[in-house]
Amino acid sequence: MLRLHNSIRPAFRSRRWAHNIPSFSHLNTVNEEDLAHFSSILAPTSILSTLPSISTPADDIAPYNVDWMGKYHGQANSVLRPRTTQQVSEIVKYCAQRKIGIVPQGGNTGLVGGGISLQKEIVLSLGAMNNVRSFDPVSGILVADAGCILQSLSEHIAPHNHIMPLDLGAKGSCQIGGNISTNAGGLRLLRYGSLHGTVLGLEVVLPDGTILDQLSTLRKDNTGYDLKQLFIGGEGTLGIVTGVSILTPPAPQATNNIFLALPHFDNVLPLFQIVKRQLGEIMSAFEYIDRTAYDMGLQHGLGPLLSADEAGGSQCFVLVETSGGNQDHDLEKLNNLLESLLTADEPLINTGVLSQSPTQFNSIWALREGLTECVQKEGKPYKYDVSVPLADFQKVVDAVRERMISKGLYGDHAISKVMGYGHVGDGNLHLNVIAKHGYRPELEAALEPFIYEIVADRKGSVSAEHGIGSMKRDALHYSKSDVSIDWMRKIKQVFDPLNIMNPGKVIP
Ligand code: FAD
Ligand code: MLT
Ligand code: ZN
């Protein structure tokens, strides 16, 4: 039996742990009078409600009350879909007067329950605000409504040979406003950095309805506090992002990728160092997939990138992408890398493939990007998105599997798979624990706070990129000190003294 390695067993600590159910006694539920007021601001088609005067069919309102995983269920009786910033402002002003809680919702692809109402707050969906306001092909600065879908923005700028600085598997549904509000990471962070750097300006409707216009298109602006940073990763708790100004990089002239099979997880770290050194400035992604995740991908029709023989005996896999300016130069570097890896005295890899065409390039990425959807098909996932030292990635996954075995909760009757994949280059592990037959309190109790303790012991983060939402609200203290949380509360109080803006999310 696999033994829990001492170095990964969480140390005893007397941290507080409880999932508290927030009380919203300070808030009112939307009634017919409120709907009449919203009808004076919005077109009839922009209001959905189960209340009699509107009577939206249950099936039409249901998608706004459940998240992508089917883990979080809301009770909003009304959804508003404004088309302009002015409309958002008028709605919020009214909600502040009436003390109605508001949940901003983008593409609803979030994985921590941040965009779903906890009780009967109203959902304010940004999907109808989807116009590109401007694009400057010289500077690469794009200004767009918050409700624009990430992929449609990529398509908008592609003819100008620019790309979005972020890319994620949910690109076909997630919105740029949602990306900014979650400070989404994704597959390009290693190359282009986080949204804290690439977002130049924001337009935000504050919780009293004031429009904060900071839609700057300046690369440099050192005029006092940089307020926009508070809304990047603010998860809709401080205001509603309605417009975005973002710096888009020129599309690389040459992109390539390789997929490597490694005999042992311990090889990942030395491999990362070698790849970084040999590829230098052209390395743009270094992604990790463990054996369980790879096999699951195959079962669901991804790949195969390697034959069963080639992949056999490999504990894990790595995807490396290069983005550079000259195809011959980049290919030479990649070929040299592969040759040196395969001919080393003690090779770090079993085998590898180099994409030879755009189709092969895409199918290598499809295997990595498709894992989230495969996990979803396998059952109900408990998704932990953590930052831990790279050397501990596999130990964390193994420790969690061992924990479930020791509790008698591992197998098709309970947790059928525990796997890891993620952004090695960013120190970000996606630990996925699949409940074959659905979410159950005893499964969650076995996983939490166990996993958060492990992360805290390694001085990691309980959220590397997905955010806190309602899932990790009570786990925030595993990564933030009491002083930090206290100052977060004070900031929330300054912006949202009535606590109407995404109440019960992020702040414990
Ligand atoms: P939503 O889910 O609608 O909302 C997310 C949060 O932001 C909520 O708290 C909501 O209240 C708030 N919000 C949304 N819009 C606004 C707004 N305009 N103003 C204020 N608050 C707002 N995440 C990553 O970081 N990296 C990945 O690689 C990644 N890959 C994914 C792959 C798949 C297949 C899926 C399903 C999800 C993935 N995610 C990833 C998670 C998710 O896609 C991101 O968090 C994304 O940024 C959420 O955008 P959204 O528009 O769907 O926001
Ligand atoms: C990813 O990197 O694939 C995403 O963050 C989604 C996930 O964790 O599954
Ligand atoms: Zn990710």
pLDDT in tens, 202-245: 999 999 999 999 999 898 899 999 999 999 999 999 999 999 99
Query: Closest Cα to residue 415, out of 394, 436, 398?
Result: 436
Mean predicted lDDT score pLDDT of the chain: 95
Q: How many CB atoms lie within 10 A of CB 272?
A: 19
Name 262's bridge partners.
316
- Which ligand 1 atom sits nearest the alpha carbon of residue 236? 21
What letters, b where the CB count within 10 A reaches 16 and e where it falls short, cover 290-315?
A: bbbbbebbbebebbebbeeeebeebb
Q: How confident is the model at residue 18 (pLDDT cuts 50, 70, 90)?
A: confident
Name 122's bridge partners.
102
113 lines ligand 2 (CB under 6 A): no
Distance 130 CA to ligand 1 centre (A): 16
**Residue 141: strand, helix, or coil:** strand
169 lines ligand 2 (CB under 6 A): yes
Tell me which ligand sits closest to the C-alpha of residue 502. Answer: 1
- pLDDT of 447 higher than 90: yes
CATH number of 132-247: 3.30.465.10
Q: Ligand 2: which residue has its CA nearest to atom 5?
A: 186
- Which ligand 1 atom sits nearest the alpha carbon of residue 68? 36
Contacts of 415 (CB under 8 A, 6+ apart): 404, 409, 433, 434, 435, 436, 443
**Residue 174: strand, helix, or coil:** coil
Which of 85, 109, 230 has most ligand 1 atoms within 8 Å of its beta carbon, as the pocket-test mutant?
Answer: 109
- Which ligand 1 atom sits nearest the alpha carbon of residue 469? 9
C-alpha–C-alpha distance, residues 392 and 390, integer Å: 5
430 lines ligand 2 (CB under 6 A): yes
- pLDDT of 16 higher than 60: yes
Name 289's bridge partners.
317, 421
CATH number of 6-125: 3.30.43.10
Distance 169 CA to ligand 3 centre (A): 8
- Which ligand 2 atom sits nearest the alpha carbon of residue 430? 8
Look up residue 478 and give its DSSP letter: G
- pLDDT of 1 higher than 80: no
- pLDDT of 41 higher than 90: yes
Give residues (CB < 6 A) around ligand 1: 68, 103-111, 114-115, 126, 146, 168-170, 174-175, 177-179, 181-182, 184-186, 235-236, 240-241, 372-373, 465-466, 469, 502, 505
User: pLDDT over 90 for what percent of the chain?
Assistant: 93
Name 250's bridge partners.
162
167 lines ligand 2 (CB under 6 A): no
- Which ligand 2 atom sits nearest the alpha carbon of residue 466? 5
Q: Please give the biggest Cα pair distance in the chain.
A: 77
Distance 210 CA to ligand 2 centre (A): 35
Tens of pLDDT, residues 96-149 = 999 999 999 999 999 999 999 999 999 999 999 999 999 999 999 999 999 999
* Helices first, then strands: H and E counts in the chain: 18, 16
Distance 187 CA to ligand 3 centre (A): 7
End-to-end CA distance of the chain: give it in Å, rounded.
38
* Model pLDDT, residue 5: 46
Q: Ligand 1: which residue has its CA nearest to atom 41?
A: 110
C-alpha–C-alpha distance, residues 13 and 505, integer Å: 25
Asked if CATH classification 3.90.1150.10 holds for the domain at 372-468, the reply, yes or no, is: no
Amino acid at 507: I
The beta-strand segments (E) located in 232-389 are 240-247, 254-262, 283-290, 316-324, 351-354, 380-387
State CA 173 to chain mean position distance. Answer: 13
Q: Which two tokens stand for residue 472?
A: 């990790």
Tell me which ligand sits closest to the C-alpha of residue 465. Answer: 1
> In which region does residue 348 sit, left (phi positive, over 0), alpha (psi from -120 to 50) or beta (all else)?
alpha
Q: How confident is the model at residue 19 (pLDDT cuts 50, 70, 90)?
A: confident
Q: How confident is the model at residue 426 (pLDDT cuts 50, 70, 90)?
A: confident
Name 387's bridge partners.
428, 461
Instruction: Please give the backbone phi and psi of residue 247, each rounded to the nearest 5 degrees, phi first.
Output: -90, 120
385 lines ligand 2 (CB under 6 A): yes
28-34 long-range contacts, Cβ below 8 Å, gap at least 24? 28/98, 28/99, 28/100, 29/77, 29/100, 29/120, 30/77, 30/78, 30/100, 30/120, 30/122, 34/78, 34/94, 34/98, 34/100
Edge-to-edge strand order for the sheet containing 211-214? 132-136, 141-145, 240-247, 199-205, 211-214
- In CATH terms, 254-367 corresponds, of 3.40.225.10, 3.30.720.210, 3.30.70.2190, 3.20.20.80, to 3.30.70.2190
* Model pLDDT, residue 20: 75
- pLDDT of 302 higher than 50: yes
Same fold, 254-367 and 372-468: yes
**Domain boundaries, given as residue ranges, for the chain:** 6-125, 132-247, 254-367, 372-468
- Which ligand 2 atom sits nearest the alpha carbon of residue 169? 3
**Residue 328: strand, helix, or coil:** helix
